[in-house]
Structure 1
Amino acid sequence: MNRRRSIRDDSSLDRLYYFLVRKGRLSVQDLERIKPNVYNISTPSKKWIVKSYGNKKKVRFLWEITSVLNAQKGFLTAPFVPFPSGDKVLENEGKWWCLMPFIEGESLTFSSSRDRLAAVSALHQLHDVTEGMKVSQQVNRPSYLTRMEKRLAKFLKTREIFFQYGHYPLYSRIKQLCVHAFRQMEQVNWDVIEDRSKNNGHWIHGDCASHNFIRQGDDIYVIDLDLMHQAPYVLEWLQLAQRFLYASQWSFHSLNESFTMRQYMKSPYFQRGLLFPGDLLREWIFFLNRKPASRRVEHMLNQMQTDWAKRERFVKELMTVI
C-alpha cells in the first residue's frame, strides 16, 4: 500500500489502514489524508472517502438524511454506504467512521457565472426534496443572531493581533461596520422566520462553499452534508451570496444575474445579513485557530486589507437600499 509519505504521522496512518482492513474489510491500496478526519481511499475497484466523527448522534442523523436524499430521483449527493463488512459505522477510540463514494469531477468556481447559476439550481433542488423531511435524530443549533453575536465577540478579542502587525485602522473599520450591522440585524425579528422554518420543515445545506458542488458532465453533485439543519432558506442564500461576492470582487452583478438573489435582495433579513461581515469573521477565527506562523498572519492581514476596501465599496452601495 502507498500510504502517502506527505503525512508525517505514519504510525497513525498505519493504524487507520489496519483498522479499515480488519474491521471494515476494505481492500485498501492507497490511503491519503485530506483533513485530520477525512481520507481518500483507493481499492482495486473503486475510490472511497472515509470520514470520522466524534459524536454518534451526529452520525445517526447524517445516515438518516443521506438515506433520504439518496432515494430522491434527480438529486445527486455522496451518501453514506455500509462498509464491505456490512457495518454502517465503525467505532474506534471514541471516533465513528463512515464510508461514502468518492465523486469524480470538478469543483464549481464561483468566479464563473455558469457555475454560480448551477449552484443556485442545485440548492433549489436540495430545498425542494428535503422540505418537510422528518428525522429521528435532530441536531439543534443556536439562533442565527446568537451565532453572529458570538462570532463578533471572538473577533473583538483579536484586537491586539491587528495592533501588533500594524493593522489597527483595519480592525477599527471592521469593528465599526460590525457594530452598525449587528444593530441593523436586531431590528428584524429572526425568531419569527426561524420558528416558521422549523414548522414548515425547511432544511438548508449550511456550508455552500464551491468545493461542495461537484460537476460531473451535465450533473451537479452536492456533497458534505455535515452542517445540514433546519433553518430559514434566506440563511442559505445569504451565505451563498457572500461567497459569490468574494469570488467576483464584490460585484453586484454576481447577485443580479440570478432571479433567486434578485428576489431575496428585497428581504430585510437578507439585506441586513449581507451587511454584517459574518463570513470574514468566520474565516479569520478559523485561520487563527490553526496557530499560523507570524509570516502567514502578516500575509493574511495584508490580503484582508485589500479585500476590505472592495467590500466597503459594496457596503456603501448596499446601504442605499436598506
Structure 2
Amino acid sequence: MKATPRKETVFKQIEISSVATSFVSYLPFSDGEWIKESGGLMFACMKTIQGRALNYALKEDRLLAVEKIAHFHEEVQGTSCDYIPSLALIPKWTNRFVRFKQDIEGNVYPPQQEKLIHFYLSIGERVVSQMKEVARLEETALRHRYIIHGDPAHHNYIFNRNQLRLIDGDLISYAPREYDYLQLLNRMLPHCNWSLDEWQESHIYPLRQCIETPFLKKLLAYPADFYREWLVNPSVRNELLVKTEEQHSKRAEFVHNVL
C-alpha cells in the first residue's frame, strides 16, 4: 500500500506506472477504484514484488541503478500529466542551504567539528551562487516533457534475479535528466573513493554530461547528502560528523577538483 497526504502524489505515480515497466505497477482496488481515503491519507495499491534494495557499495548494483534510471527516462519522456510538477533546482538547493545555515547559527561545536561544518557551509554557498545556467536546462526539460524520478536512493529500487523496479515516485517531476544522475553520483561517490573514473566512458549521455559539462560538474560539490542527513535526523548529527570526518580529505580534494 502507498499512503500519502496528497492525492496528486498518488495520481502521478499511477499514471507513470501505466507507461513505465521500469516503475512499480499500481493496481485498482477490488471495486475498481484507484484511491481510497482514510484518516486524512490517500491510499493506493501497488503490485507486490519480492526482492531487495540495491547496495551502492557494490559496483554491479551501481551499474544496475544508472541503467534502470536511463530506462525509466526513456519510457516516460513525453508523458503529459497535470499532477506532475516542474522542478526548479535553484530554490530547492538554496532553501536547503539556508535551513542548514540557520540551524547551525548560534551553536557551539568542538573546534574540529566547527571547521568541518563551516567547510560544508561555504561549499553550499559557493555552489548556489553559481547555478544560473540550470534554468536553461529546466526550460528545455519542460518543453520536451523530460521526467525524472527525483529520489534514486538505493532503497527506492526493488531487485531480484528476474526484475528491477523503481518505487516511491513522490518526487517525480518534469526536470532535466541530469538531476537524477547528479543525485546518483552524490550517493555513490562515497563508495568510489570520491572518483568519477567509473563513469567517464558511460554510454548514458546525461550521466556523461554531469562529468563533462563544467557548470554541471560543479553541482557535484553541493553537499546534498550532508545537508539532508543533518536536517532530517538531528539525533544522529554526531555520528554524521564522525562519518563525514572519515572521508573528509578525499571529499575535500574532490570538491577542489570539480570547482
> Is TM-score (shorter-chain normalized) higher than 0.5?
yes
Distance change in 2, residues 1:297/1:315 (3 Å):
closer
On the 8 A contact 1:162/1:168 being kept in 2, the answer is: no
**Equivalent residue, structure 1, for 2:184:** 240
**Equivalent residue, structure 2, for 1:195:** 139
Q: Which amino acid aligns with 2:8?
A: K
**Equivalent residue, structure 1, for 2:242:** 302
**Equivalent residue, structure 1, for 2:35:** 89
**Equivalent residue, structure 1, for 2:130:** 184
Deviation at 1:104, TM superposition (A): 1.0
Mapping of residues 56-205 of structure 1, within 5 Å: 56-69=7-20, 75-141=21-87, 143-160=88-105, 163-164=108-109, 167-186=113-132, 189-205=133-149
Which ranges in structure 1 are unaligned for 5 or more consecutive residues? 1-49, 70-74
Listed one character per residue, the Cα deviations across residues 67-114 of structure 1 (whole Å, up to 9, x for unaligned) are 222xxxxx3332221223433111112111111122112222212221
* In 1: Cα distance, 2:18 partner to 2:226 partner: 34
On the 8 A contact 2:209/2:216 being kept in 1, the answer is: no
Structure 1 segments, 4+ long, off by >4 Å, are none
Distance change in 2, residues 1:274/1:162 (3 Å):
farther
Deviation at 1:283, TM superposition (A): 2.2
Mapping of residues 221-236 of structure 1, within 5 Å: 221-236=165-180
Distance change in 2, residues 1:252/1:144 (3 Å):
same
* In 2: Cα distance, 1:123 partner to 1:235 partner: 11
On the 8 A contact 1:107/1:214 being kept in 2, the answer is: yes
Distance change in 2, residues 1:184/1:140 (3 Å):
closer
On the 8 A contact 1:61/1:135 being kept in 2, the answer is: yes
Listed one character per residue, the Cα deviations across residues 255-308 of structure 1 (whole Å, up to 9, x for unaligned) are 3363434443111342121122223212221112xxx2xxx3322222222233
Q: Which amino acid aligns with 1:155?
A: F
On the 8 A contact 1:197/1:231 being kept in 2, the answer is: yes
Which ranges in structure 2 are unaligned for 5 or more consecutive residues? none
Listed one character per residue, the Cα deviations across residues 139-185 of structure 1 (whole Å, up to 9, x for unaligned) are 344x1011111111011012258624552111221122222222332
Partner SS state of residue 265, structure 1? helix
Distance change in 2, residues 1:174/1:79 (3 Å):
same
Cα RMSD of the aligned pairs, angstroms, is 2.1
* In 1: Cα distance, 2:104 partner to 2:84 partner: 37
Q: Which amino acid aligns with 1:286?
A: V
* In 2: Cα distance, 1:311 partner to 1:115 partner: 22
Partner SS state of residue 91, structure 1? strand
TM-score, normalised relative to structure 1: 0.73
Larger Cα Rg: Structure 1 or Structure 2?
A: 1
- Which has the bigger relative contact order, CA under 8 A and spacing at least 6? 2
